[in-house]
């Protein structure tokens, strides 16, 4: 159970997220990507991907969906970060347009790993979409093609994102505040 001293302060409300996702979906629709496959990176993007897909439907898109479960190891030095495949996608991406969806772009390792993996398998085009972009120095140079929000450089939780497996269920994005 959550200690009484831990409060989650809202950074992006559920309503603001929903509005912004509608706009992002419009932008994706305007890119006119034929035979689009959405690849959601698990676990963090599952809530975002679910809402984004339904917003895409409302713009008239009918993408296919698959899931790529990745584990990234955050180490003390920026050069030692490693990304492993925990569960691979099942779809053949050769010749497909693919939209990789993730929760947060920070060092860039996770998103670049997914993008390069799918490109190496012969995808026609790989675009990326993130809920949050943290304005920090990247370990791997990458910019997302679609971003919902610029995120303060703080640890955030909720809307699918966790701290030690907690807080994924929150309908908003928040930061943890510890009160004495
Ligand atoms: P990157 O590989 O350094 O770009 O990190 C991206 C991944 O780290 C995301 O998919 C998240 O799972 C995780 N991450 C980075 N910052 C946060 C945060 O503030 N809260 C929760 N997860 C985070
Ligand atoms: Mg993640």
Q: What is the residue-level pLDDT of the chain in tens, covering all 180 positions?
A: 655 568 999 999 999 999 999 999 999 999 999 999 999 999 999 999 999 999 999 999 999 999 999 998 765 554 567 899 999 999 999 999 999 999 999 999 999 999 999 999 999 999 999 999 999 999 999 999 999 999 999 999 999 999 999 999 999 999 998 877
Q: Is 109 in the pocket of ligand 1 (CB under 6 A)?
A: yes
Residues 6+ apart with CB under 8 A from 100: 39, 41, 68, 111, 114, 115, 118, 126, 127, 128, 129
**Ligand 1 within 6 A of CB of 106:** yes
Distance between CA atoms of residues 32 and 173, nearest Å: 30
The alpha carbon of 43 and the centre of ligand 2 are apart by a number of angstroms equal to: 6
Q: Whose CA is nearest to atom 5 of ligand 1?
A: 106
Element (H, E) at 56: helix 46-58
Residue 38: its pLDDT value, please?
98
Span from the CA of 76 to the centroid of ligand 1 (angstroms): 15
Ligand 1 atom nearest the C-alpha of 41 is: 10
Tell me what pLDDT residue 6 has: 80
- Structural tokens at position 5: 């001293």
Question: In DSSP terms, which residues pair with 64 in a beta bridge?
Answer: 37
Mutate to test the pocket of ligand 1, among 11, 39, 44 (most ligand atoms within 8 A of CB): 44
DSSP summary character for residue 134: -
Q: Is the beta carbon of 104 within 6 A of some atom in ligand 1?
A: yes
Contact 68, 42 (CB under 8 A): yes
Cα 128 from Cα 144, distance rounded (Å):
5
């Amino acid at each position: 159970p959550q200690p009484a001293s831990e409060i989650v302060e809202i950074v992006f409300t559920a309503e603001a997220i929903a509005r912004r996702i509608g706009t992002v979906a419009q932008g994706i629709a305007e890119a006119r990507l034929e035979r689009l496959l959405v690849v959601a990176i698990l676990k963090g993007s599952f809530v975002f991907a679910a809402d984004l897909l339904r917003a895409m439907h409302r713009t008239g898109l009918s993408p296919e969906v698959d899931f790529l479960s990745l584990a990234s190891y955050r180490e003390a030095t920026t050069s030692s970060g490693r990304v492993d495949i925990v569960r691979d996608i099942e779809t053949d991406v050769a010749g497909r347009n693919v939209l990789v969806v993730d929760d947060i772009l920070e060092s860039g390792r996770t998103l670049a790993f997914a993008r390069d993996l799918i490109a190496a398998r012969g995808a026609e085009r790989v675009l990326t979409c993130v809920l949050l972009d943290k304005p920090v120095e990247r370990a791997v140079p990458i910019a997302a093609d679609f971003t919902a929000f610029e995120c303060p450089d703080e640890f955030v939780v909720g809307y699918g994102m966790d701290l030690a497996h907690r807080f994924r269920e929150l309908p908003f994005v928040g930061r943890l505040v510890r009160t004495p």
